[in-house]
Structure 1
Amino acid sequence: MSGTLDTLENLTYDELHEGDTATFTRTLSEHELVLFAAVSGDCNPVHLDPEFAASSMFGERIAHGMWSGSLISAALATVMPGPGTVYLDQSLSFKRPVKLNDTLTVNLTVLRKDTKNRVVIRCIVTNQNNRKVVTGEAKVIAPTEKVCLHKPALPKVTIEGHNG
């Protein structure tokens, strides 16, 4: 069964091959930036306070580094290998800041398959200008059973004073 926007389909360990690639794209909105601060508890003013951020080395507000990292997690969990993946390890190197309204693309590449269904995946996150913002490697346990599921509906979340 081929995946659609409403479904999540995994790739099993046996279906994965060295060199396989997948992508996942997301744009950072004001709403997501504030929600990420709320759920993570990271209220560093460089993310939330325009005046403070203007005097920082970045000159403007930037995203939390782990927002980019969370996109890697989402790509592994929903695209490749997909549902049933167990996330074991992740290295991250932050190359440049992510700004409001940047569109990031997570590029995954299978580097190698190890024993016990373990897979090592290169993770490169680029912005809309094809500039690297994060690089690293993930180690996962790939699923062994094929699944195709309806994508769960997420609740509509709003922030006081904001509609999203």
Structure 2
Amino acid sequence: MSDTLDTLVNITYDELNEGDTATFTRTLTEDELVLFAAASGDFNPVHLDSEFAAGSMFGERIAHGMWSGSLISAALAMVMPGPGTVYLDQTLSFKRPVKLGDTVTVHLTVLSKAPKNRVIIQCNVLNQNNQKVVTGEAKVIAPTEKSRPYRPDLPKITIAS
């Protein structure tokens, strides 16, 4: 396992600077939507039932708001600051729905550094049309030591029809 694609790299507190940015992108698929419902226990029909969702204010099925929120968590854990980050606090404001097939990008920006390795990070999630779907701020404890752990192999989980 020496391939750099299999290795994660963090950014330590000392390496972070105000204004630093990072991104993380994901596309909402049917499998992701259903797996998120199963993992979270949220079976609201606006997410899972096309007929019900057609009569909603959205007119179609949409992602759970926290699916987008979970992408912020992933961006913090995987990209900046990365492995070893401890999530302390998060504000979220949901601006518009994410629909099946939408590709969203989490944009992280370091706003400030504080004592005890605390970092405040602006979090904006934008869809493929550059429209904000979620905004907020995270407070994390950034790692103090450089780490390069291997990316774990996860099982391929698909939804049976």
Which TM bucket (shorter chain)?
over 0.9
Partner of 2:115: 115
Task: Measure how far apart 1:80 and its partner are.
Answer: 0.1
2:151 aligns with: 151
What does residue range 5-24 of structure 1 map to in structure 2 within 5 Å?
5-24=5-24
Aligned-pair CA distance for 1:4: 4.1
Distance 2:16 2:148 in 1: 16
Q: What is the DSSP-based 3-state SS (H/G/I as helix, E as strand, rest coil) of the residue aligned with 2:5?
A: coil
Please state how far the C-alpha of 1:160 moved relative to its aligned partner: 3.0
Which residue of structure 1 lines up, in the alignment, with residue 39 of structure 2? 39
Structure 1 unaligned spans of 5+: none
- Which AA in structure 2 matches 1:99? K
Deviation readout 1:98-146 (Å, 9 max, x if unpaired)? 0001000000000000000000000000000000000000000000000
Tell me what 1:58 maps to.
58
Question: 1:91 and 2:91 equivalent?
Answer: yes
- For residue 133 of structure 1, what is the aligned residue in structure 2? 133
- Residues 3-56 of structure 1: CA deviation (Å, up to 9, x unaligned): 943221000000000000000000000010000000100000000000000000
Letter in 1 for 2:155: P
Matched with 1:76 is: 76
TM-score (norm 2): 0.97
Letter in 2 for 1:112: S
| Partner secondary structure for residue 149 of structure 1 | coil
1:159 Cα offset (Å): 2.3
CA drift at 1:57: 0.2
For 2:109 and 2:29, how far apart are their aligned partners in 1?
Answer: 27
Aligned residues between the structures: 159
- Alpha carbon RMSD of aligned pairs, Å? 1.0
Moved over 3 A (4+): none
Q: Distance in 2 between matches of 1:74 and 1:46?
A: 24
User: 1:157: Cα distance to partner?
Assistant: 1.1
Q: How many angstroms does 1:156 deviate by?
A: 1.1
What's the counterpart of residue 27 of structure 2?
27
1:150 CA displacement: 1.3
**Separation in 1, partners of 2:60, 2:89:** 32
Give the letter for the 1:45 counterpart.
Answer: P
**TM-score, structure 1 length as denominator?**
0.95
